[in-house]
Amino acid sequence: MEKKTFESLKTFSEHNFVRKRIWQTDKLHCNIYCFEPEQQNSLHRHPVSDEVVFCLEGEGIVVVGTEQQSIKAGETLLVPMNTPHGYINTSLDRRMIISVIQCPLPVDHVPVEPGNLSTLIRP
């Protein structure tokens, strides 16, 4: 049995969020996403895959369909298949880390307009 720590997996870049694969089987993907302040994973959808999101560190906003919801460390949410969604770290001084489990495969990544979440976030 293999074991990994989130501490050893987390990686940040000042240019863009970082996604790393934690686990992959023939049925699912498990990734870690690391966001510096104001970075985002733009609006997209997965036509045949559900997505379970766990916030491990920091906080931000998740857009799912027409709704937006804050998320912080210790919280989780479900993104149903084919639903437009995205993540943004709205903090100006804290990093945000989420882990995502997606299944079934394949997990196609289909961009959705307007893409940039900053245009959708309501104060």
> Where do the structural domains in the chain lie, given as residue ranges?
8-119
Q: What class does CATH assign to 8-119?
A: mainly beta
Q: Is 115 left (phi over 0), alpha (psi -120 to 50) or beta?
A: left
Query: How much is the pLDDT for 85?
Result: 94
Residue 102, both tokens: 């997606």
> pTM, whole model, 2 decimals?
0.88
pLDDT in tens, 38-63: 999 999 999 999 999 999 999 999 99
pLDDT in tens, 76-91: 999 999 999 999 998 8
